[in-house]
């Protein structure tokens, strides 16, 4: 879409933001790189940094992170488009520092946005009121979103190429002391310091010294002081811990106790993070007594903290499981405010992560009901993380049992899927889907662990972005746990950055950068490596991006064409006429890769474009699959079975007759 600039509405470190009108008549914010503000020698660095800002902002799909609508990074100067904001938190604070005595909305929106960033492994590093934008909603409410990702980084050390090691970034009044001279030191706690400085703006005010520890008078004093400790390790360990403390301080709900014993037990909970066995026994006796009397335990559940939950798991796992079940019941017992939904979600996450199978299933369903009944996007997403494609098959079966036994309205509660409009069945390791999304497609996929037990393959079923659909397959190289991490990371980046205008070369470059970042964080560059095949279909055209020996095969009628290229030593010798096909089968180094996506080596990106039509079948496979089922055999199976379900069943049956010596994965598509 074309945009007509109306007026300049802001300037950042290296960009200008314009109010613009799109061809659809709506107003947008267009951020354009402004290289003229810097010396010519810095232009290449600025362009890379601007591109990075767009990519990182695109990675985070969250209501409290400003959305990138579209971009053009190939034009000069490059630009990207965002929704137009009605103002910023800075504007609100200048109008009324106390925000009308109602600061909770922007504060908890900021925390939700920061948490979304941190879960992607990102740090903002320039959080301040001017970078928190305000967006009125149709129902009259307001949402605040974090913007300006120009200094965002995936982790400590990444900024050496884009920000000099002695160059300070960010805004001094909101910048933590460890980043005063070197932004490589930025951790999640750097963003927490900046949030504490925003709290000081609202609850303290007045002049302050940059990079210093801050304080305010009143109830917020301990929160501000802990946020802005000089030593990062003394700040809150996570956004969840900060949010819990902040909510408890700001919560002005009056507690009406049902008994003196309840008042005493809650006083103990509020005064101590770690209870003795006798104190926990007292709390559970009260819970049982309340149940016998038909009295609600909501006051006790609200008094529980993250520290309490972790400590009882350490001291009494059986009581932990019982408490988790009670907390799941509490989660769906009444209506809660948006802010408190997030507090419940944080605690439910601990119960889910540490709980046994029944507690995991009960907690996941409680989050589904809480998220959908309260229209809380964050909690809905939490359920999808708990019970989505990566869900353990045993947990999926347990959730199914809970749904049947409790007559849980699962289909009614399930959030509408984003992307391809599909119905999927199966476990985390397999699935079959039908869709009328982009052109219409039938899909089957599975990934099976080999004899070593640890599956290093990763599959991304089709999902739609604009007029195009994307899917991918990756096979981690080597036998260490980092191999699977490399495969899953590559798939995650494809899902995050897929865009109809994104060149394959840019996508793969970003994946390589992300693998390098993880390698530095893990202090292990040799073991983080994967093969990767990506397929994008737009209308009747298909586009391939490929590195390694995963494979994309195209079946039509009785014919088959491999649309990728095996980047192996044996294939290189075959292409050069040095080996015959029979010799290649016995070649001792047939699995040696010449190219892979890795942290410490370059790669050879193979790109291909081809036409597709109705009835075509396309298979994305790992080498553990296509080393057992030859493409000619698959062509015979495909041509003899017109019905896709029959074809897919035959493929799985054929593979089941083979003895696997590696992980085996296959994603099959039929153009409908």
Percent of the chain, pLDDT > 90? 46
Fold (topology level) of 87-249 = Transferase(Phosphotransferase); domain 1 (1.10.510)
Angle between helices 357-373 and 393-406 (to 10 degrees): 60
Q: Which region holds residue 170: left if phi is over 0, alpha if psi is between -120 and 50, else beta?
A: left
Mean pLDDT of the 379-392 span: 81
φ and ψ at 617, to 5 degrees?
Answer: -120, 135
Residue 58 in tokens? 């695109």
Overall average pLDDT of the 600-616 stretch: 90
Q: What is the DSSP string of 317-359?
A: HHHHHHHHHHHHHHHTSS---HHHHHHHHHHHHHHHHHS-HHH
Q: Residue 626: count other Cβ atoms within 10 Å of its Cβ.
A: 20
CA nearest neighbour of 115 among 236, 248, 13, 225? 236
Strand 422-425 vs strand 430-435: parallel, antiparallel, or unpaired? antiparallel
In degrees and rounded to multiples of 5, residue 84 shows phi and psi of -80, 130
Q: Which of 2-16, 137-151, 428-442, 544-558 has the highest mean pLDDT?
A: 544-558
pLDDT digits over 387-441, tens only? 876 678 888 888 888 887 777 665 555 554 333 322 232 333 444 443 333 346 8
Helix (H) or strand (E) holding 585: helix 581-586
Across 29-38, 592-601, 619-628, the highest mean pLDDT is recorded for 619-628
Residue with tokens 């996506």: 597
Lowest mean pLDDT among 147-151, 417-421, 491-495: 417-421
Q: Where are the domains of the chain?
A: 3-83, 87-249, 252-413, 441-671
Of 8-22, 162-176, 404-418, highest mean pLDDT: 8-22
**277 pLDDT higher than 60:** yes
Distance in angstroms (rounded) separating the CA atoms of residues 630 and 640: 16
Binning pLDDT at 50, 70 and 90, where does residue 157 land?
very low
Residues 69-124 have pLDDT tens digits of: 888 888 888 899 999 999 999 999 999 988 988 899 999 999 999 998 888 878 88
> pLDDT tens-digit profile of 458-475?
999 998 887 889 999 999
Most distant pair of Cα atoms in the chain: their distance: 88
Are the CB atoms for 511 and 493 separated by under 8 Å?
yes
- CA nearest 188: which of 227, 136, 150, 159? 227
What is the spatial distance between Cα 85 and Cα 62, in angstroms, rounded to a whole number?
16
Per-residue b or e along 387-416, where b marks 16 or more CB atoms closer than 10 Å to that residue's CB = beeebeeebbebbeebbeeeeeebeebeee
Which residue do the tokens 């005493």 mark? 264
Return the structure tokens found at 549. Answer: 């020996």
Q: Which residues are catalytic?
A: 126
pLDDT tens for residues 507-561? Answer: 898 898 888 877 877 666 566 899 999 999 998 999 999 999 999 999 999 899 9
CATH number given to 3-83: 3.30.200.20
Alpha helices, DSSP H only, in 96-238? 104-119, 188-203, 221-227
| SS3 state of residue 519 | helix
pLDDT band at 484 (very low <50, low <70, confident <90, very high): confident
Comparing C-alpha atoms, which of 517, 520, 526 is closest to residue 492? 517
Alpha-carbon gap, residue 469 to 455, rounded angstroms? 26
Q: Show contacts of 86-89: CB within 8 Å, 24+ apart.
A: 86/134, 86/135, 86/136, 86/142, 87/133, 87/134, 88/129, 88/130, 88/131, 88/132, 88/133, 88/134, 89/129, 89/130, 89/132, 89/133, 89/134, 89/144, 89/198
Stated length of the chain: 672
State the pTM of this model.
Answer: 0.63
Q: Which fold has domain 441-671?
A: Phosphatase 2c; domain 1 (3.60.40)
Q: Which phi-psi region, left, alpha or beta, contains residue 619 (left: φ > 0; alpha: ψ -120 to 50)?
A: beta
């Amino acid at each position: 879409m074309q945009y007509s600039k109306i007026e300049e509405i802001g300037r950042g470190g290296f960009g200008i933001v314009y109010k613009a009108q799109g061809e659809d008549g709506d107003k947008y914010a267009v951020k354009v790189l402004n290289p003229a503000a810097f010396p010519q020698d810095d232009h290449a660095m600025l362009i890379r940094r601007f591109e990075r800002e767009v990519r990182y902002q695109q990675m985070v799909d969250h209501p409290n992170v400003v959305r990138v609508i579209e971009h053009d990074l190939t034009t000069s100067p490059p630009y990207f488009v965002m929704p137009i904001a009605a103002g910023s938190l800075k504007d609100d604070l200048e109008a009324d520092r106390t925000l009308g005595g109602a600061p909770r909305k922007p504060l908890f929106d900021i925390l939700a946005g920061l948490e979304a960033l941190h879960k992607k492994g990102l740090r903002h590093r320039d959080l301040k009121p001017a970078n928190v934008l305000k967006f009125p909603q149709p129902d009259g409410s307001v949402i605040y979103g974090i913007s300006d990702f120009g200094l965002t980084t995936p982790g400590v050390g990444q900024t050496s190429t884009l920000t000099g090691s002695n160059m300070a970034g960010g805004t001094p009044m909101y910048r933590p002391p460890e980043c005063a001279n070197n932004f490589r030191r930025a951790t999640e706690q750097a963003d927490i310091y900046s949030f504490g400085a925003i709290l000081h703006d609202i609850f303290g005010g007045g002049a302050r010294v940059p990079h210093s520890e801050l304080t305010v008078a009143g109830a917020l004093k301990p929160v501000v002081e802990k946020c802005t400790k000089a030593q990062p390790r003394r700040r809150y360990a996570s956004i969840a811990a900060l949010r819990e403390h902040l909510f408890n301080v700001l919560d002005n709900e009056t507690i009406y106790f049902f008994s003196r014993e309840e008042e005493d037990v809650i006083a103990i909970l509020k005064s101590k993070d770690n209870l003795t066995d006798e104190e926990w026994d007292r709390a559970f006796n009260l819970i049982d007594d309340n149940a016998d009397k038909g009295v609600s335990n909501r006051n006790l559940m609200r008094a529980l903290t993250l520290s309490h939950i972790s400590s009882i798991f350490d001291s009494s796992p059986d009581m932990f499981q019982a408490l988790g079940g009670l907390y799941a019941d509490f989660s769906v017992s009444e209506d809660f405010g948006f802010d408190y939904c997030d507090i419940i979600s944080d605690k439910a996450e601990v119960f889910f992560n540490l709980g046994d199978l029944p507690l995991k299933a009960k907690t996941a369903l409680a989050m589904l009901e809480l998220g959908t009944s309260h229209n809380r996007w964050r909690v809905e997403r939490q359920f999808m993380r708990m019970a989505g494609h990566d869900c353990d098959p045993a947990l999926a079966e347990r959730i199914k049992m809970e749904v049947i036994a409790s007559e849980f309205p699962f289909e009614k509660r399930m959030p509408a899927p984003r992307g391809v409009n599909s119905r999927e069945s199966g476990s985390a390791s397999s699935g079959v889907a039908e869709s009328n999304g982009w052109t219409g497609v039938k899909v089957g996929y599975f990934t099976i662990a080999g004899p070593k037990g640890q599956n290093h393959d990763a599959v991304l079923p089709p999902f739609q972005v604009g007029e195009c659909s994307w899917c991918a397959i990756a096979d981690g190289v080597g036998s260490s746990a980092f191999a699977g991490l490399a495969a899953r990371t590559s798939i995650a980046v494809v899902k995050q950055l897929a865009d109809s205008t994104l060149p394959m070369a840019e996508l793969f470059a970003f994946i390589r950068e992300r693998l390098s970042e993880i390698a530095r964080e893990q202090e292990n560059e040799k073991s983080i490596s994967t093969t990767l095949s990506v397929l994008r279909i737009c209308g009747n055209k298909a586009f391939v991006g490929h590195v390694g020996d995963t494979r994309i095969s195209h079946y039509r009628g009785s014919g088959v064409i491999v649309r990728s290229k095996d980047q192996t030593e044996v294939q290189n010798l075959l292409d050069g006429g040095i080996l015959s096909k029979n010799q290649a089968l016995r070649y001792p180094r047939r699995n040696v890769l010449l190219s892979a996506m890795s942290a410490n080596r370059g790669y050879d990106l193979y790109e291909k474009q081809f036409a597709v039509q109705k009835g075509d079948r396309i298979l994305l496979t790992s080498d553990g699959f296509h080393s057992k089922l030859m493409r000619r055999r698959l062509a015979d199976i495909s041509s003899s079975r017109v019905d896709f379900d029959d074809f897919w069943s035959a493929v799985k049956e054929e593979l089941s007759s083979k003895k696997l010596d590696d992980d085996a994965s296959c994603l099959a598509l039929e153009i409908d």
